[in-house]
A and B are shown apart, each in its own frame.
Chain A
Amino acid sequence: MKYAYFPGCSQSSTAEEYNRSLLAVAKALGTMELTEIPDWNCCGATPAAAIVSPTLPTSLAARNLSIARDMGMNEIVAPCAACFKNLRKASHTLNENLELRAQARGALRSRRPDGPASETASLAVGDRDLSRAPEVRHPLDVVINDVGLDNVPVKKPLHGLKVASYYGCLLTRPSPSFDDAEHPTTMDRLMEKLGAEAVDWAYKTKCCGGGIYMFREDVSFAMSADVMAHAKAAGANCLAVGCGFCQLMLDLYQSKLEKIRRTTFRLPILFFSQLMGLAMDLDRAELGLEKLIVSPFALLAKTVDAPEGSIEKKAPPKAAKLKKWGEP
C-alpha cells in the first residue's frame, strides 16, 4: 500500500531516530510505501487550538491534507501522536462539518504563487480543495491492520526483553481511534510477535505530562515518574513508545525522574519501530539506537544479542511488589 507520510517537526530533531527507524522498517516490509508530503507545515501540536481561534488547528491541518490529496493519496501516515491526533481530527471535521470546511477554505483562500519554484509549484494556483480529506493513520495501526502481524519477518526474536508498551494519551484518544481508549493491545501484540514479553501494566494510556512540561515542570515530572515507577514495578526492562514527546519525557529526563522518586529506573525507552528493526535484523545504524539517552546496549547484550540458550538458564528477575497507590 502507498501512503503519504507526514513526519512532523519532532521527527527531524528530538525524535530523529523514530523517523529513521520507521522508514527503515517500512522499506524492509515492502508493503508499506511512505512518500513524504512535500513542504508540509506544523500541525500546531497542543497550543494551536488556544491561539487565534479554535478553527486554527483544522485550517493548519487542511493545508497538509490537501497537499496529500493532490499527491493522489487516500491515506496519511503520521508517526507523532500529536500530529496524528490533530490531522485525524481535522480530516473528520473537514469531511463531516461543511460549515467548518468553509471556514478553513476561507482561511486558506487565494494563496499566492510566491517564493522560488518548489515542489508545491506543480499544484494549481488558487483555492485549496478541501473535500474528500484523506484518512489519517498511525504507523502502528498500519503495521497491525494493513501489513499484518504475520507478514512481519522476525529474524532475530527479542527473547529476554520485557516490554511495557506505553501508548500515552493521543494514540488511542480521543476515541474512536485504531485501538481501545482504555485498554489498547496493538503494541503488546506486536511485541509478542517480535518475540519479546509484553508486560501487563496499568499505566499504558496515562499521560506523560509532556504538554505542560514548559510551564509546570514539577507536575509533568510527577506524571512521568508515575509512569516509570509502574513500568518498573510491573517487571519491565524497557518501554516501547509510539510518540516522540513521550519518549523525550521518559528518556531525556529519566535521571531527573529518578531523583524525584529517589530510585533508579534505568529503563531504555525505545520506539516500537526500533524494536521492530531489531527483530527484523536490520542494519543497526539505521535504527538510531545510539541516540537514546538511556543506552539500550547493555540490555540488548544481555538479552537479544546473548548467545543462544543463555537467557533461559537464568531465573527471571522477580517483579517488584507494587506499593500503595501514589507512593514512590
Chain B
Amino acid sequence: MLQYEAIHPRYETSPEIEKIVEAVSGCYQCGTCSGSCPVAPAGGMDYTPRTIMRMIQAGLEDEVLASETVWTCSACYSCAVRCPRDIDITDVMIRLRNLALIRGYPARTGVAHRGKVYNTDFMEIVRRLGRIYEPELVIRYHLKTNPLNLMGMAPVGLKMLLKHKLRLLPDPIEGRREVQGIFYRLRKEEARREQQVREEQQARKRREAHAGDEAPEEGAR
C-alpha cells in the first residue's frame, strides 16, 4: 500500500503542498529529527518527525494533515539545526499546521482540535488588540474545550495575581487598525488561492468520475 502510494502520490495539487514536498524530498530517513525532538519521547506526537517526513514523501496528505504532530511540534528548531540534509523541518511542520487549518481538516483527535482552538484564539486576540491579552485567551480556550478546566486554572491564576503577574485589563495599541489590515489582506489573498485550488480539485474529480473505472479509495484510518 505504502509502496504503491510512493509511486503514485495522490496529492491535491497546490503550490503550498508542492513547496513542502520539494523541501522534504532530500530526506534520507536518518532519524536525527526524531532523536532530537523533545516532544516525541515525552509522548506528545502520534507520528515522529521522521515518520511525517516519510509520509509526505509517500503522499499521505490526509493522514499528515490530520495528525497530532503538526500541532504538538513545539517549534524549538532542534531538528532543523541538526538535519544533515538541511531541511527546515520546523518550518515544514508550521506550513503543515497552516494547511491543516486553512483546509479545514477535521481534527481527528482532541489534541489536534485543542491545538487549533488555541492557535486561532491567540491570533484573534492579537488581530483585535495588536497585542496578546492572556486572561481572555485562557478563558476563551477553556470555554471552547473543557470549561471545567477553568476551575483548575484558579489556583495558578491566584498565584499570578498575588505576584502582580497578570495583566488585568487589555492593552490595545493605537495602530491596531493597521494590524487588522494585515490580517484582512493576507486572509483575502489566502482565500483567493484556496478557492483556486478547490476549483482545480473539483475539475479533476469530475474528470475522474467520467473515467468511471477508478477503484474506490481506501478510507483514512
Contact surface of A with B, Cβ cutoff 8 Å: 9, 12-16, 39-42, 44-56, 59-60, 63, 106-109, 111-112, 114-116, 118-120, 169-170, 173-175, 181-182, 205-207, 209-212, 214-216, 218-220, 222-223, 226, 252-253, 290-293, 326
Please report the C-alpha to C-alpha distance between residue A108 and residue B177 in the assembled complex, in whole angstroms. Answer: 10
Q: Are B78 and A59 in contact (CB under 8 A)?
A: no
**Residue B197 lies at the interface, judged by CB distance under 8 Å to chain A:** no
Please report the C-alpha to C-alpha distance between residue A56 and residue B94 in the assembled complex, in whole angstroms. Answer: 12
Instruction: Across the A-B interface, give the 3 residue pairs with the lowest CB-CB distance, nearest first.
Output: A169-B76, A207-B76, A219-B44
Can you list 6 A-B contacts (CB < 8 A)?
A: A52-B183, A56-B186, A59-B186, A111-B178, A114-B177, A207-B78
B71-82 toward A: CB 8 Å interface, digit per residue (1/0)? 111111110110
Please report the C-alpha to C-alpha distance between residue A118 and residue B131 in the assembled complex, in whole angstroms. Answer: 17
Residues in chain B near residue A170, CB distance under 8 A: 76-77
8 Å CB interface, B155-193 against A:
156, 159-160, 163-167, 171, 173-179, 181-183, 185-187, 189-190
Instruction: Specify which of A14, A46, A112 lies most central, judged by the most chain B CB atoms within 10 Å of its CB.
Output: A46
Interface segment out of the listed B24-32, B58-66, B111-119, B205-213:
B111-119
Q: Are A46 and B160 in contact (CB under 8 A)?
A: no
8 Å CB interface, B97-112 against A:
97-98, 101-102, 111
Known: A12-B167, A48-B123. A63 touches B186 (CB 8 A): no
Please report the C-alpha to C-alpha distance between residue A53 and residue B44 in the assembled complex, in whole angstroms. Answer: 25
Known: A9-B132, A115-B174, A252-B160. A47 touches B76 (CB 8 A): no
Residues in chain A near residue B179, CB distance under 8 A: 41, 60, 63
Residue in B74, B80, B145, B189 whose beta carbon sits within 8 Å of that of A209 in the complex: B74
Please report the C-alpha to C-alpha distance between residue A209 and residue B167 in the assembled complex, in whole angstroms. Answer: 23
Distance between A40 CB and nearest chain B CB, rounded to angstroms: 7
Known: A53-B98, A111-B178, A293-B159. A215 touches B118 (CB 8 A): yes
Q: Are A211 and B130 in contact (CB under 8 A)?
A: no
Give the secondary structure class of B's interface. helix
Q: Are A47 and B42 in contact (CB under 8 A)?
A: no
Residues in chain A near residue B136, CB distance under 8 A: none
Please report the C-alpha to C-alpha distance between residue A114 and residue B39 in the assembled complex, in whole angstroms. Answer: 45
Residues in chain A near residue B181, CB distance under 8 A: 107-108, 111
Residues in chain A near residue B126, CB distance under 8 A: 41-42, 44, 48, 60
Please report the C-alpha to C-alpha distance between residue A59 and residue B189 in the assembled complex, in whole angstroms. Answer: 14
Known: A44-B123, A120-B174, A173-B80. A214 touches B98 (CB 8 A): no
Q: Are B175 and A42 in contact (CB under 8 A)?
A: no
Residues in chain B near residue A112, CB distance under 8 A: 177-178
Distance between B189 CB and nearest chain A CB, rounded to angstroms: 7
Known: A46-B75, A50-B94, A182-B81. A209 touches B42 (CB 8 A): yes
Distance between B155 CB and nearest chain A CB, rounded to angstroms: 10
Residues in chain A near residue B187, CB distance under 8 A: 52-53
**Residue B34 lies at the interface, judged by CB distance under 8 Å to chain A:** no
Residues in chain A near residue B102, CB distance under 8 A: 53
**Residue B47 lies at the interface, judged by CB distance under 8 Å to chain A:** no
Q: Are B131 and A215 in contact (CB under 8 A)?
A: no
B4-28 toward A: CB 8 Å interface, digit per residue (1/0)? 0000000000000000000000000
Residues in chain B near residue A226, CB distance under 8 A: 38, 42
Please report the C-alpha to C-alpha distance between residue A181 and residue B78 in the assembled complex, in whole angstroms. Answer: 8
Distance between A220 CB and nearest chain B CB, rounded to angstroms: 8
Residues in chain B near residue A55, CB distance under 8 A: 186
Q: Are A39 and B174 in contact (CB under 8 A)?
A: yes
Distance between A299 CB and nearest chain B CB, rounded to angstroms: 18
